[in-house]
């Protein structure tokens, strides 16, 4: 059921406000990190937030699990992938997103758990 769909919940720090902002977004996991696609690219507020403040909070789960977890989030770091350096990586993530959601247009962002926490599956 759609209610059981799993999302990535990403908490960034507002680059103007300094306040936490959380989004619910589609994702894929690869190489111990998570990846999301910002349809708005650099115009997406959450992308604007991670550029100056890459430290983020995150959790993966259903809406029910998210609600039950309250404010608890695991620490991590986010960065926008950029060609040409990340070109192969970007292509791979787009393939994974296409396979899972039938969609991959936008800026690919990597969210990695902090080194002292468990890696993504």
Tens digit of pLDDT for each residue in 89-114?
A: 999 999 999 999 999 999 999 999 99
* pTM of the model as a whole: 0.91
121: pLDDT strictly greater than 90: no
Q: What is the pLDDT of residues 49-90, one digit of tens each?
A: 999 999 999 999 999 999 999 988 999 999 999 989 999 999
Q: Under a CB-based contact definition with an 8 Å cutoff, are residues 46 and 21 in contact?
A: yes
Give every CB contact of residue 43 below 8 A, 6+ residues apart in sequence.
none
- What pLDDT sits at residue 114? 93
Q: At 2, is the pLDDT very low, low, confident or very high (cuts 50, 70, 90)? A: low
């Amino acid at each position: 059921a759609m209610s059981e769909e799993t999302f990535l919940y990403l908490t960034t720090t507002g680059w103007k406000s300094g306040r936490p902002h959380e989004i619910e977004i589609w994702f894929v996991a690869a190489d111990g990190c998570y990846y999301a696609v910002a349809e708005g690219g650099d115009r997406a507020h959450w992308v604007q937030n991670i550029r100056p403040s890459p430290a983020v909070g995150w959790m993966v789960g259903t809406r029910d699990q998210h609600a039950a977890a309250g404010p608890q989030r695991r620490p991590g770091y986010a960065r926008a992938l950029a060609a040409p350096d990340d070109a192969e990586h970007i292509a791979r993530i787009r393939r994974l997103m296409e396979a899972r959601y039938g969609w991959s247009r936008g800026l690919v962002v990597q969210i990695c758990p902090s080194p002292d926490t468990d890696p993504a599956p």
